[in-house]
A = this chain, B = another copy of it.
Amino acid sequence: MSKTKQNPSPGRLGVWLFGAYGGLATTLVVGTRAIARGLAEPRGLATELPIAVGIPWQGLADIVFGGHEIRTGDYVSAAAEIHAKTGTLAPSLVHALRKDLAAASKNVVAGVMPNAGRTIESLADRKPKAATSLRAQVEQIQRDIRAWQRQHRLDRVVCVNLTSTEPQLKMTAAHRSLAAFEKALDKNDVRAVRPSAIYAYVAATLGLPFVHFTPSDSALVPAIQEAFAKSNTPWMGRDGKTGETLVKSALAPMFKYRNLRVLSWQGYNILGDRDGRVLANAANKKTKVATKDALLPSILGYPLHTHVGIDYVPSLHDLKTAWDFVHFEGFLGFKMSLQFIWQGCDAILAAPLVLDLVRFADLAKRRGEVGSMPHLACFFKQPIGVAEHDLHHQWQMLVGYLERVRSERAR
């Protein structure tokens, strides 16, 4: 059924998830197994499109998941909870995969969360492993990943950060160089880190490709980018582009082409679930909104009135709804409007992106690429190091990369 069977899979790949029992991670694990077993189409995966044919992608059947989590649980019950809320992850499918999911659940261990902020801390019900210092926490995670890799005889590992949005980190001298950051770790300066910084640092020290799928700004500070460079490791972030922002970046160029002046672009997102609850907290929301707001002036080429609202509506759970109102001016200054309403399930939209990113990150590592992966810009709300937000240009960047890979292989 899946095109993934066309290529001989290049060995066994481990995918380590920070935030392993969240809605997105659970959907990812269930979905990957479902596709691997031929129980679902590989819908949503760019790496299964015609443009991606001929690339030696990791086969989905040979992916092994593991990860850290601050809440207790297992994939079968997490999936049941998700189904009750959003209707995704049908019980019959989960039942068919129950053995795979039980096996995956065994690979989830207690996470650490230094300085996560109160909102996230309140979600934790799993005692973090005894870790008296940041250094000890770093080493604990390193040991967890290496032990799991050995246990499952994994040829390669990719790390993915799927944890909740953290409050913004105050940038200081400690984040400007690897040496300064490591000194802060040595001094156990907890205020200098957020959990995501620790996760990214661990990946860098182990030389594992890192996909930073959340908006948290601590993960990819210069100090950590330096650590990735030092270990010759590819990475990319941040904040998966799934819903309203995706539509925005697809539509905004149209106004540019037609020389229609956008006067105001108001966007309102409503969502429930853990994600919504975390974002209802002002400090965490600020991080998120920041990654959503730069896009329009960048595409359109002029400053304009924009607003990005995010509100918590518990009854929606993960069925995110967004209303955007675009007010624009045309010939002779006449004002007109375009509105759109997006109704999607965030985990369903994000999970295939994560799978795509894992495959791309793994490919980059095998190809010896180091540092940020700008060709993956189309997957992120704030593609670090890429000024381009136009979805269609970003797509051309991806297509161009695939063509280069293919032509290099053909030689």
Contacts and interface: CB of A to CB of B under 8 A. Distances in A.
Interface of A: 27, 30-31, 34, 40-46, 48-50, 87-89, 91-93, 246-247, 250-251, 253-254, 256-261, 263-264, 266, 268, 270, 301, 305, 307, 309, 311, 313-316, 321, 323, 325, 327, 329-345, 348-349, 351-352, 378, 391-392, 395
A391 B325 contact: no
Contacts of A321: 325
Nearest to A261: B43
Contacts of A253: 250, 392, 395
Nearest to A349: B330
B314 A332 contact: no
A44 B330 CA distance: 5
Contacts of A246: 254, 258
B49 A259 contact: yes
Given A43-B333, A334-B348, A250 B247 contact: no
B340 A345 contact: no
Contacts of A327: 313, 315-316
By Cβ-Cβ distance, the 10 closest A-B pairs, closest first, are: A263-B315, A392-B392, A250-B254, A44-B331, A336-B344, A340-B340, A87-B87, A339-B341, A334-B348, A323-B323
Given A257-B46, A259-B45, A331-B43, A305 B309 contact: no
B330 A315 contact: no
A86 to B, nearest CB: 8
Given A31-B331, A246-B254, A257-B378, 10 more contacts: A34-B332, A42-B259, A43-B330, A44-B260, A46-B259, A91-B91, A268-B309, A313-B325, A330-B349, A332-B348
A334 B88 contact: yes
A229 B247 CA distance: 42
A313 B340 CA distance: 17
Contacts of A315: 263-264, 305, 327, 329, 335
A27 B42 CA distance: 33
Given A323-B325, A338-B247, A260 B332 contact: no
Most buried by B among A246, A311, A330: A330
Contact of A257 (B27, B335, B348, B395): B395
Given A91-B91, A254-B250, A330 B352 contact: yes
A334 B346 CA distance: 11
A323 to B, nearest CB: 5
B259 A251 contact: no
A258 B343 CA distance: 16
B266 A313 contact: yes
A27 B258 CA distance: 17
26 contacts: A27-B331, A41-B333, A43-B329, A43-B332, A46-B257, A87-B334, A88-B332, A89-B332, A247-B251, A247-B338, A250-B254, A251-B251, A257-B378, A264-B316, A266-B270, A305-B313, A305-B315, A330-B348, A331-B349, A336-B343, A336-B344, A336-B348, A337-B342, A337-B343, A338-B340, A338-B343
A280 to B, nearest CB: 11
Contacts of A257: 46, 378, 391, 395
A274 B93 CA distance: 27
Contacts of A335: 315
